[in-house]
Structure formats: C-alpha cells, structure tokens
Amino acid sequence: MRFLTRRRRSKAAKPLAILMALFAMGLLYSVASPATQSSAETASPEQIARGKAIFEQTCSSCHGLNGEGTSEGPTLIGVGSMAVDFQMGTGRMPMARPEAQAPAKPTDYSAEEIAAVAAYVQAEFGGGPQVPTSDQYSADGMTSEKLARGGELFKTNCSACHNIEGTGGALPNGKYAPSLEKTSDKHIYEAMRTGPQQMPVFAKGTLTDEDTREIIGYLQTLHAQPEQGGLHLGGLGPVGEGFWAWVLGVGGLSLVAVWLAKKGARAR
C-alpha cells in the first residue's frame, strides 16, 4: 500500500499506469476475440480457388455467380463463412429442389470442401460472421449451476419453437423447428448466431458466448439421458412440460419445507 501511494505521486506513475491499462486492454481484447483470426484470414489462394470452383458448379445457379441472389435463392453478400459452414455442414445446402424449408441431412461434402466454400464466400462476398473456434461453443467442464442456467435460457429463448426437450415442433405454413437431438455443438452455436429461416438471430448482445455454451451444455445433458422405457415424454409436448412443472414445483416446495424446518429449529 505504502509502495503504491508513493509510486502514484511520482512523475513516472501516470504514464506507467496508462501503459499498464493499455497492456491489460490489449490482453483482454486478444483473449476476448479469438474469432477474428479464423478461416478467411488464414485461407490460402488455393483453398479459395477450390471453394470458387465448387460454388460456381453447385451454388451459383440459385445464389448467383457473385452471390447476388436469384429468384431461386437469397443473396449471400455479407452472410460470412459461419452461415455457409452451418448450411453445408447440416446438409441443408446445396438445396436439392425449391421447397418451403431445406431439411437437415447428412452432407455429401468433406470438411475441407465446406471450409473451402466458406473461405470463398467470406473472402469474395463482403465477409460476415466467421466460423467459431471450439472455445466459443465447447461446453466441457460445465458446473451443474451453469447447466441449470442453460436450461433456463433454453426455456426462455428456444423452447417456444423447439419444445422444452429440444425435440422440435411445427410452425405455420408447413415449416417446422427441427429436433436438436443430433445437432453438433458447433452447429448449435452457428444456428443461434446466424438465425436460419424463421429462427431469430441471437447476437452476442442477447446471448453471450458463455450463455450459448450453457445452452449447449444443457442440450448435451438432456440428450445424453437414456430413455427410461415405457412413457417417452418427448413426443407428448404438454405432458412433458407438465412433468417439468411438477418436478420444479415439488422441488421448490421441498426447498421451502427445508427452509421452514431450519427456521423453526433456530427459533427454538
């Protein structure tokens, strides 16, 4: 303490403090934004050329040779590599035929081919949100509090369309919110950030990367649970929700009971 006050009074202290603050900010920035240095910046001309060839052959008929869009598909200007990675990685794109909603399905493309098209779109069509790094979506080592918080966030933001158990549900006009049971962690993250079709975009201002990791962790625990035989709640929406209300309600009541008992004991 003495040392600090003395230093603060000395002439060197102010610039030193500013320098240290700048250094700390730089450090924070480099820790907070690893995503800024991903695919596109490190993409080689060969990778981009490969992506261009695939794009012109399989995507341009609907999205236009310069990603400007056609009557068959929207513009890809500014969508970025993340949207391409999501759309191709989940098998939605290339769309086989015009329909209300491109279904998720196993993709015919290798990870390298998808990365090449993503790098091409990122480099040539104005750029946009980039493919996330695993530290942005990995839910490793989540505490049970964080998983519970993820469950709350899922309930508030996602369950209206995807159902409380993430098993999906119908939407108006023949569209649907798909089941999330088989979706990879990376694609869950990308869906939240890019908001495909009717799904809203959940930007970092709404859900931080920490929030998205908690949601991903919650979905992992939800879908890792083996079915207990007999009654499968997932298919029965309202029953499933009633069940949860019951569990939470009874859980809450027991907590109150414990609290009352403790209070009673202290009073005595």
Within positions 146 to 165, which residues make up the interface with ligand HEC, using CB under 6 A? 157-158, 160-162
Residue 39 touching ligand HEC (CB under 6 A): no
Residue 43 touching ligand HEC (CB under 6 A): no
- Give the nearer residue to ligand HEC in terms of CB position, either 123 or 180: 180
**Torsional sign, CA 49, 51, 52, 58:** positive
- Give the nearer residue to ligand HEC in terms of CB position, either 30 or 57: 57
Within positions 79 to 118, which residues make up the interface with ligand HEC, using CB under 6 A? 79, 83-84, 87-88, 90, 92-95, 98, 101-102, 104, 117
For the chain, the first-to-last Cα distance in angstroms comes to 47
Residue 186 touching ligand HEC (CB under 6 A): no
Per the CB < 8 A criterion, the answer to whether 237 and 169 are in contact is yes
In whole angstroms, the minimum distance from the beta carbon of 183 to ligand HEC comes to 4
- Give the nearer residue to ligand HEC in terms of CB position, either 167 or 194: 194
Residue 63 touching ligand HEC (CB under 6 A): yes
Amino acid code (one letter) for 267: A
* Three-state SS annotation for 165-229: CCCCEECCCCCEECCCCCCCHHHHHHHHHHCCCCCCCCCCCCCCHHHHHHHHHHHHHHHHCCCCC
Residue 123 touching ligand HEC (CB under 6 A): no
Q: How many residues bind ligand HEC (CB under 6 A)?
A: 47
Alpha-carbon span 55 to 243, nearest angstrom = 48
**Torsional sign, CA 211, 169, 59, 187:** positive
In whole angstroms, the minimum distance from the beta carbon of 91 to ligand HEC comes to 8
Nearest residue to 53 (alpha-carbon basis) of 113, 107, 93 = 113
- Give the nearer residue to ligand HEC in terms of CB position, either 162 or 213: 162
In whole angstroms, the minimum distance from the beta carbon of 125 to ligand HEC comes to 10
In whole angstroms, the minimum distance from the beta carbon of 112 to ligand HEC comes to 14
**Backbone torsions φ then ψ of 127, nearest 5 degrees:** 75, 165
**Torsional sign, CA 253, 255, 256, 258:** positive
Chain residues that interact with ligand HEC, rule: CB under 6 A: 58-59, 61-63, 72-74, 76, 79, 83-84, 87-88, 90, 92-95, 98, 101-102, 104, 117, 157-158, 160-162, 171, 175, 177-178, 180, 183, 187-188, 191-192, 194, 196-200, 202, 215
